[in-house]
Amino acid sequence: MGTDGTVMGRGEPAIETRALRKTFGPIHAVDGVDLSLTAGRIYGLIGPNGSGKTTLIRLLVGLARATSGEARVLGTVMPSRPLLERIGYMPQADGIYPELSVWENIRFFAGLYGGTDGARAREVLRLVELDDRRSTPALELSGGMRRHLSLACSLVHDPAVLFLDEPTVGIDPALRVQFWAHFRRLAALGRTLLVASHVMDEADRCDELLFIRDGTIFARGTADELRARTGTDRLETAFLQFAGLDDNGAPLAGSGPAGPAAGAS
């Protein structure tokens, strides 16, 4: 969807970065990332804790400014306040207000994003199975239930691009399946999802994977393509091989992370 509200074509990039960098003193949290992600797909940003996933998402959402390079979402250079109503963001830490009830949180975030009707708010409430907790203050919810509410708040305005940082941490397996079924429906409607995770068993649910380590995306492709290119049936092994690591995570002699030739462009 462009900045004028029109729907973007499937071949146009919904997310772009050019030589994107973010440094914190000597730390290169995001180190020269170049991406072009088309609309209507689920992308898995896969890497260990501390690999740069959250920083990259914060740059794309506009919550952090790049040290150098450029990030664009729906054709707009980020950060951009007007574009926020077209973006959904579910952070690792639950971005909800503990004193407000479940329903008040959802309605509050709907208002922040420009407002939405009550039917949409009730729909996301049902999706995350909080119908019977709508009057409960968020502070009285369990950790897993707070994740449910955080997802509902990120979905309530029906965003064109959705950034999810470890969205299924702390939720039960049955609800995880429901979440992913909904993510798939969103992609079928032309929405673009970037899902950060360090859990490999969720990677197969994505249309395409982006392996990230030390702030660099060093391999890209479908799960099957990445396994085939490394001659393994395990994504964990594929990740380690592309990263130039052995099965214990130690550097292989004379090896290093694969560069653009590994499909990271």
* Strand arrangement of the beta sheet that strand 192-197 belongs to: 87-90, 161-165, 192-197, 42-46, 208-213, 216-221
How far apart CA 150 and CA 88 sit, in angstroms, is 11
Superfamily of domain 10-74+198-265: P-loop containing nucleotide triphosphate hydrolases (3.40.50.300)
Which residues are CB-neighbours of 231 under 8 A, at least 6 positions away? Answer: none
Which pLDDT does position 4 carry in this prediction? 38
pLDDT band per the 50, 70, 90 thresholds, residue 77: very high
Of 39-53, 58-72, 130-144, 245-259, the least confident: 245-259
Model pLDDT for residues 202-243, shown as the tens digit of each residue: 899 999 999 999 999 999 999 999 999 999 999 999 999 999
Model pLDDT for residues 100-144, shown as the tens digit of each residue: 999 999 999 988 887 777 888 999 999 888 999 999 999 999 888
